[in-house]
Structure 1
Amino acid sequence: MDIRLLGEVQLRIGGRAVHLGPRQRQQVFAMLALEVNRVLPLTSLVDRVWARPPRTAQHAVEVHVSDLRRRIEEGGACLERRGAGYRLCADPQTIDVHQFRALVAHARTQTSDTDRADLLHQALQLWRGPALTGVAEESLRERLVADLEEARLHAFEDRAAALIRLRRHREVVEDLLPVVADHPLREHLAGQLAQGLHGIGQTVRALQLLRDTRRRLVDEFGIDPGMALRRLETQILQDNAAPIAS
């Protein structure tokens, strides 16, 4: 069984895609998979599926769970009613979210930057798009996966730090260009991308990125960049050594 939440919600059994039904049913399934092997109270499940729950919400969840139970049994998993809640019983390593978290945790125990960068690459490759794509209103989806998205950004930062120490600047640039485009006000990522650009000889572009970041921070929040970003800009400006391409 293969449960995918990092992108569109999918269930695959024996390599075959299993149709989960309407969007709300997919969301009930996703919420139970996020909390695999833990009881999720029915009231909490309702709150995670509806921004404004209808009076029939609890009954709707019960219907969805009944249907899902039949669909997942073939994959060796089960859905249990426990008190006032439900529990999905399954191996966490059949669920991409939990694979991602396990790989990130394992990467942080590594003393080798090469091993750390490789494990984080494996973790980030599990993402096929924004988590829980298409199963919830965007504002609700963002609230539900905020901690996951933060973990993903931290994984990019940790991998970039390891790659910079390894002087693999080109990989830093390849990894971070799309991420910084989506999160232009995240100073740490912008600084790492600037280091990568400088490392492959694109110093002018690196400095322009730092200036653009400063301008956005001032325009949108009325604040200056932190000391780390200002120090990095000064270091790049003062660096007379030939950049190292990778």
Structure 2
Amino acid sequence: MLEFGVLGQVEVRASGKPVTIGAAKLRALLASLLLRPNRTVTTPMLIERLWGDRPPQRGVAALQNYVLRLRQTLGAASPALRTTPGGYSIELRPEQLDLWRFEQLITAADSLTGPAEISATLTEALALWRGPALEGVASELLQRQEVPRLEELRLSAVERRVEADLLLGRHSMLVAELRALTGEHPLREQFWRQLMIALGGSGRRAEALATYRSVSRLLSEELGLDPGPELREQHAAILAAY
């Protein structure tokens, strides 16, 4: 059975062994199909994703050539790479694609109520990420349209997992992770709020208050804004607790 990954570099494994997808446009073609498994991706959309605003004169024929090469690369064990009315589709089961498994685990976490279960489920989901989504895929359109969407899914899952861990009292162990997250995503207020909670819960009130001052200054300088209501409420809660 073939397994596919888009949560990192685009990868293919056959019985656990990597399958080399050499040409850049083959990787872009495969990524485009994997992002919409079991659904038709139209010929015009694929041409745009492979060549942008400079398609070859015989774009349809060029695309057909890449589809043939992809079929040959995937080999006899490949899933059904189908020619459909208007385009192409790749037929998969959920367990064959890391993005599909990630989305299933996120949905499963939505139905849970206990923070330990939520944390464990989201940790399992986030472990599927091997790096930035579609890393190294040479398609400006995919990088502009799909990567931000996938990254937002990941960051939302991180926020939810951290929130569950805070409810479990894991304040001290979260501080280093949250410092890194606020450094990587300085305008994402939720991570700052969670860092304040983690510091306060670790008995580091002065650092929690200093964190609020830091994010207040950052938001003012970068966006001309004051902290949002959740940050202000957390600041007030820390002040009131002592």
Q: One fold, TM greater than 0.5?
A: yes
| Alpha-carbon distance change, 50 to 218 in structure 1, aligned in 2, over 3 angstroms | farther
TM-score by length of 2: 0.91
1:244 aligns with none
- Is the Cα–Cα contact under 8 Å of residues 49 and 139 in structure 2 kept in the other structure? no
2:185 aligns with 183
TM-score by length of 1: 0.90
- Whole-angstrom distance in 2 between the partners of 1:140 and 1:212: 35
2:37 aligns with 36
- Whole-angstrom distance in 1 between the partners of 2:68 and 2:138: 21
> Which residue identity is paired with 1:7?
G
1:224 aligns with 226
- Is the Cα–Cα contact under 8 Å of residues 80 and 88 in structure 1 kept in the other structure? yes
Deviations 1:197-226 (A, max 9, x none): 222233333222222221121111111111
- State the shift of 1:54 in Å: 1.9
Are positions 1:5 and 2:32 aligned together? no
Aligned 1:54-203 pairs, distance under 5 A: 54-56=55-57, 57-136=59-138, 140-203=142-205
- Is the Cα–Cα contact under 8 Å of residues 56 and 62 in structure 2 kept in the other structure? no
> Which residue identity is paired with 2:26?
R
Deviations 1:127-146 (A, max 9, x none): 11110001125675142222
- State the shift of 1:39 in Å: 0.7
Which shows bigger deviation, 53-62 or 215-224? 53-62
- State the shift of 1:74 in Å: 3.5
- Whole-angstrom distance in 1 between the partners of 2:24 and 2:241: 54
Aligned Cα RMSD in Å? 1.9
- Is the Cα–Cα contact under 8 Å of residues 78 and 88 in structure 1 kept in the other structure? yes
- Whole-angstrom distance in 2 between the partners of 1:140 and 1:65: 18
- State the shift of 1:27 in Å: 1.0
- Whole-angstrom distance in 1 between the partners of 2:172 and 2:3: 33
- Is the Cα–Cα contact under 8 Å of residues 48 and 55 in structure 2 kept in the other structure? no
Deviations 1:114-157 (A, max 9, x none): 11110000111111111000112567514222221111111111
> Which residue identity is paired with 1:25?
L
Which shows bigger deviation, 184-193 or 201-210? 201-210
- Is the Cα–Cα contact under 8 Å of residues 46 and 53 in structure 1 kept in the other structure? no
1:23 aligns with 24
- State the shift of 1:111 in Å: 1.6
- State the shift of 1:187 in Å: 0.8
- State the shift of 1:168 in Å: 1.6
Aligned length: 240
- Is the Cα–Cα contact under 8 Å of residues 13 and 74 in structure 1 kept in the other structure? no
DSSP 3-state at the match of 1:87: strand
DSSP 3-state at the match of 2:67: helix
Which shows bigger deviation, 133-142 or 79-88? 133-142
Which shows bigger deviation, 43-52 or 145-154? 43-52
Which shows bigger deviation, 36-45 or 68-77? 68-77
Which shows bigger deviation, 68-77 or 224-233? 68-77
Identity over aligned residues, as a percent? 35
